[in-house]
Structure 1
Amino acid sequence: MKANKLLFILIVFVACFLSSANRQFPGDCNAGNICEQECNDVGDNFYECQCFDNYELIENGIDCKGNSSGNVSSTSILPINETVFSKPIETTSKSPSNDSLILDIVQTNLPVSTPINRVEPTTESISDDEYDFGVLDPYQFSSKPSNSLSKRSHKFSSSDFLTKKMRDSKRKYNRRKNRKGRKKKSKKKKGKKGKKKSSRRRKTLKEKPIADQDSKLIPTEDISKIYKKCIEIECSLHGECIEDEMVNGVKCACKFGYWGRRCEEKIDISYPRFFGSGYLTFSKLYLRNSYKDFTFEIEFKPETNNGLLLYSAEFPDGKYDFFSVALIGGYVEYRFDCGSGTVKIRSNEEVRINEWNTLVVSKYYRTGSLYLNGGNATFGESARLAQIVFKQDLYLGGFKNLSAVGSRTGMKFGFIGCVRKLKLNHRVFQVRSPPQFGDVLNGVDIGSCTSHLCKSINCEQGGKCKVISSDRAICLCPYGRVGDRCEIKKTSTVPEFTGYSYLQFFGLGKDIYRETDIEVVFKPSKRNGLILYNGYSSSGGDFISLALLKGYLEFRFDLGTGPAVIRSRSPVEMDQWHRVKLHRRLKLGSMELDNDLRTIGYSKGDYSMLTLQLDLFIGGHRDFYEVSPLAGVDVSFVGCIQKVVINGKPLKLTEKLLYGINIHECEHICNERPCRNGGICVPNMNNYQCSCLLGFGNAHCEDIRTRRDIGGKEDAISFRGNSWLSLNDDRVHSLLTDSVSEIEFSFKTNFSDGLIFWVGQNLSFQPDFLAIGVRGGHVEFSFNLGHGDAIITDKTFKVSDEKWHKVRAIRQDKRGLLEVDGGKTIEKTVPNEYVRLNVDGSGMEDITEKTKGKYTIGLNGCLKFLKISDDDTLDMLGKAKDGRNIKKCEKDDIHHYT
């Protein structure tokens, strides 16, 4: 009689949750069906359950019972290898009420990393009393199948809802029936058939492979095996053997950044995936100013309707002050206790399973609020106290002892799904492995949500697949290759940056230790992005940066005690060329944009020197974890960069780079190759200028110029600022490097600055040079024999007057003399042990680079009667090895260059 009473209670209980037989379920049989015996696809991505011979489908449409002969129990058959844990319930003659029902986690032989496609029909809402205890099945009440499904067939019957005492009583009742049935031969045959059914089910589990979109998440070796003791499994150095209640055995708990059955595989993680057994921790220091008010924003994609998302407290067990965010029955519940009682705030709507959700929870003094997916807010208020004491670290996705805090948080197991953003107030946490590059303090059993993205992308020609968001990956193509798979060969005159691009050069090092001058010509297409960055180390320290932030241009530098932030007066116009000039001397900095008024800023603290050790990046960065957070930018530049000059030295953006990624060709007239006969197109914002080879001239180098066209030995030669002649002659070189050398020539110009004569070394570490030029309208003679510059300036005559002037410069060992138009000789001696000039006679493609910033432009004017020492007038064209933009001087050439 007692067994019959228990059976009656069982049937009434099951009927509360289940609908009629022959019901159809979404999905297909091969994607984790829930049928007890057999599954049949009915089309339109639905299936229904069927039973073996002599069995029939019961009302729930899932389980099977024996035929009317009564040889098989009329109640649901428990699945093979399934163990259901429940809290004991006192059974009475009445059906159990919702208040007395306490559900606990279902344990199966499936690995925890394999989410189960479970669809449970529900018709009743969940009362507060039910989910207060945090013991709901993570797959219960799920309304949608998971996208990351196991191919393994498995069954969850209505017995998931039975209590332990009811299940034990049911098994005793079945055993008594079986003992009676064994006396009859027919019942023995059917008993054998039942064994056959069990064997068939185990065979199905072995034959169907586990498949997941992320192979790194699921080990391939003997995945169905469950280890019962730690001695049976050997964890690597990155794992620790622990008890695993999810599988009723033990497993290796992997440290953050490692995966595998034995934690032997190192994986990169930017978007963490949780499996209900793991968690990430962040230092409690991030919460030190959040005792009165805070705002958390989290973007997550759940695979089940239950699990702990966030947790921190005063004590490890959640006693007294705490706060938590959990999914309970498909809803978000936010709880906190300031010491005067727990506040529970529940979302109005359910979370979207297998879709990205945005959740914002806040607390301001005693009032808490919750916003889910932009919906209406729900509120709650603490009874008396307003402050939360945080002494524990912040946990994401779970907790190290879930059972200890389950009664406080409403949830006794961890979150299952992905998280792509966690923000506390104004700080976005950087989740990344290895942890030293991010904000993660510790982590256990964390997979990657994105490692499957690169499996469908085949990058060619040295390209590498890069995950750029939680659901997208692209090929990072080396410089010279473009296209979705790097399949197209392409070089650029003016580089264009896509937002996932950068150019990498040797760092600035000591070149800008005390003083920095930077000029950049750029055309932005988006309002945010890093244009230039050089830092001291990947963990912080000194840096210098130029970036767009919300449309404003910001120049920042940090000397070790906080950054100077110099911001443009107004936003820059998109898709237009701009020129910015940056200057820094010690702690003082300035920025001049498009010839507008300069803005000035100061670095904080006592330090005044800028120390940089890393490489220089233009247009973005290879890894923004290496960029100082004080730079205020974490995205790359989108647009074109035409020119970068640092301390007078222009960067060869498309030539002398160490590395380049995803560099495209910017739309510019130079791409049409307007210069002919080998001429080089030099972009100048929207315009250009052709640099013509010696023997060619005019605007596009289309004219062929013979020796007669250019001029003879006694003729004046015209220079236009970007012109030069290379006199690579052995005798000339010998005369200039002797202990005594003399240079004499005549010139005219109307420009106040310009280089006339230069001889120096190609090597950047060799300081020797000799130069004659115009600076500030006066003739300047300078040289260096290895230990310091000697500079002699004649300020008697102003030479930028469009008239002919004669210059005579002499170097006698360490002494220099300068005479202009036969006037007074000016003399200067440098303290130096060297008396000879060590130089070569190479060309002058880039004046700024060649002179190391001493001059930025050449002569605009005419030159004649050049003599070296006692030799006759030099035949400049006859001795020229190479040259650019050279022609015969005409009467109106001076006016042409104004």
Structure 2
Amino acid sequence: MSEYRLTAMAIAVFLTVAVTVVCETQTAEKNLQFEAAFQGRCAIDSPCQQLCYELHDGIIECDCKTGFTLHEDGYTCTKNDSVTDKIKEFERDIGLTFIDSNDIDSEDSVRFVKPSGLTSTTGKPAKCTRQCGEGACVFDSHGKQACRCPFGKTGSNCQTTNPIRYPRFNGLGWLAFPPLRGAYKHVQISLEFRPESWDGILFLAGERDDLVGDFMAILLHNGFLEFRFDCGSGLGVVKSEETVVLNEWNTLSVYRHRWDAWIQLNQGKRIAGRSKGLFSRITFREPVFIGGSGNTSGLSERLPTDRGFVGCVRLLQANDHRYDFGEAPAGDTVKSRGVEECSTDRCTRSPCQHGGKCVTSNKTSLCLCPLGYTGDLCETILDLQVPSFNGSSYLRHPALGDTALSWLNLDISFKTQSSDGLILYEGYQKYGTADFISIYMIGGYLEFAYNLGTGTAFLRSTKPITLDEWHRVWISRTGRLAVMHMDNQPQVQAMSPGAFTQLSLPLSMYIGGIPDFGVVPPDVKTRASFKGCIQKIVVNEKQLRIVQGALSGANIANCPHPCVAKPCGTGVQCIPVFDKYKCVCDKHCNSTESDQVSFDGSSFVHYTSAEIQKRITDEHLDINMRFRTTALSGLILWTGRSDRSADFLALGLQDGRIEVAFDLGSGETVLRYNTTGLPINDGHWHRMKFTRDERLSALTIDNGTKMFTISNGKLKQLNTNTGLYFGGTEDVEKSTGKRYRKGFVGCVSDLVLNTDYRVKLSWTTGGTENVCIS
């Protein structure tokens, strides 16, 4: 007799210290299972009949192949009965029958009833007379007749044929397989699934239908994949580090051996975990459910979600058994509820191009196009200028995070085509009622909702918002107080309930819509995405790059706008200003050619390059240009400070004459050219030169008499930070303190700064025609 067998028998086969009661059931018979460990090593003469595992410190453990069960002696294996016999034995032992409640008016999704429990008024068993086609007539728990339909048949009378190859679950349905066998200690699961929602139960198996004691579950929660298991003495949780990819096929591998487990999502990093307690085996008596909870109760105490899975599954394999989703006995499905055939094949017939994602709805398919592409199949390349949203669009931006803790300012310009739709949303957690902000259209009104963690406050525009017109809304929140100013409507304000004053927003910010409205709190009154254009979003005085700054997005097209035609030319940014625009030059703005352009009173150019800013704020400034006009007044050139403080310089027409006003910080100085008797708004070309050397300034028109002035105070520097505006500004009255009402109307050429810097003008204005006709 070998050393291994001799040692084991000498200690009465089982090591007393290694024998433990595992996963004790709560049944009346209290059937006990034992774990047995032996001293020695796995070799040809080990005590194990089939499989052997070396554990630690010279200890080995036996196991059995699929189709066999380990005997209580710890080393021999007993052949299992057939799957069909096990199903019959399972139902016979517990005296229960599955009823498909898809066609039953009951509150429970699955109900087990004893078929002999109902009687007629005569005291004899009632006869079930409902016509069920290929199904069977049964009584539900309320005594009502119902049809138990075979797999692949649905409807109140099992009249609809619905063969299933790859199941799609709607959040309420499920498939049931026989209980797991040979998986009490070791299991390896492979899944391929295509989720359409962030939450849902993918796989559930356990010892009892109330989920007390042993169980194993695979589920989605807030987009993350979780594997949860309990051997009866403590829960183990393994969670993915990345979220699943919605509307795409995801792969998952789950491995569990006794207490230890790991998962791998989409070939990513393996994440490991461990269950608690002494017990290391799981007893499986209940059916395996995929797509939902089946008849299992007690989910709220054991799992973070009780939602059913929404999406498709095309592969489930446990150990070496690959499940056939067809009906038993040819397939593995013993019961089902609310399952249909996965319809992603519609997408394969019309595949989306350029990385577009195909989603199905009813009997149609839709391509969600990535940024920069549009069309039914995402076949058209776009140069996005002003984003347009079509009701299935969204843009995802980085979270505001702690930048909005105590205060938040928003400035948004938009044009809507619908009276309902989500414009902006960001929250603290998914499926929660904690911190969030949201701006949306509801019933034609604009509404801002926010929650600091102790209740939601609402701000609502006083009047409906007109469709297909540009609007601007300002929202400011400081602590609990929020104020909203919509166009020229009266200002409204609100105070959030509770004592919390800070706003935490760690999740992504969504603009124009959101992929899953299930994550949006019910206090946000719309469940529709935005339809229209969003031109500008300024967050805490910083303009958001709506398209270029997005992390991801779908179905974004160009809004009809002059900027789409690139009127500013190559390398120059076109900035939309409602239906008009401005050209912003941040580099390469000088030109060696003479340009002639026109302005219409509302068009202008904004230069922000460091070269121009340096020349404007230098102690010496020289402006030389040619112009012609017939207007009496209008702002030609302006530079100032974004905080509206003292320093500024404004050059324009007043009563048909050139006037320069500036402030170096010690008070305003005005220099007006009136040496000639005639005004210069005669439609002829004129040349103007303005110079400033510290406090001394001079102005000359057409080589005429030079006029001088000295500024007030002792300050000599023009400290502006807005760059140079030419032809006007976004708001001329506000910029100039109502000195000017509108911009310049006329033509300009040869704009030169400090004698060496010729400013490029050929792409300047926002009118339909910007060429000056001589």
TM-score (norm 1): 0.42
- Select the structure that is richer in helix: 1
Higher strand content, 1 or 2: 2
Q: Which has the larger radius of gyration?
A: 1
TM-score, scaled to structure 2? 0.47
